[in-house]
Homo-oligomer: A and B are copies of this chain.
């Protein structure tokens, strides 16, 4: 069992974008940030439901496959689930349609918990007001022998990193400068201690950096 996190970040460390609205929930720069990832065969299959075999199959796709393998539970922040933009909608069940691409219990951190929502395909959203350690204990229990993924957003991942709770961090670095939003690396001086760090540049120009405990 390992606790894992994966993020796409820009060269200047920004991992979320600005200007999110309910109609454009990912914000303006999102597609530039994730262009290589969302072009992989694995993303097309797992997130878009495209089983045609279209999409890239190189280094980016290898990391995308790892992302989807062996996860038994996920933790995410309220912002990633969309609670901030949809606080008034008691029926809100995320951005991912009726069959979300998680297929495991997903623990959403929020100061205003609501009843759990069971979706098609094995995803159940649970809402918890808890510390990183507290929600992680519950997610680890739910995952059994498999991994727990800290899904995002960037502030949630950073809080788990700061608390020393992440066994493997993978970032795909897109060589663009966003200059605004939320940064992954703030206040994490010396994070590399206790990890083995490896780097690999994909055909797309994305550099994949992995911190492995």
Contact = CB atoms under 8 A, between A and B. Distances in A.
Interface of A: 11-13, 173, 175-180, 185-192, 197-201, 205-207, 209
Q: Is the interface of A mostly helix, strand, loop or mixed?
A: loop
Given A11-B209, A12-B13, A13-B13, A199 B175 contact: yes
B189 A179 contact: yes
Q: List the number of copies, as a whole number.
A: 2
B177 A191 contact: yes
B205 A198 contact: yes
Contact of A12 (B177, B179, B188, B198): B188
Given A175-B199, A185-B177, A191-B177, A207 B207 contact: yes
A59 to B, nearest CB: 11
A189 B180 contact: yes
B177 A11 contact: no
20 contacts: A11-B209, A12-B185, A12-B186, A12-B188, A13-B185, A175-B192, A175-B197, A175-B199, A176-B190, A177-B185, A177-B188, A177-B190, A177-B191, A178-B189, A179-B185, A179-B190, A180-B189, A198-B205, A199-B207, A207-B207
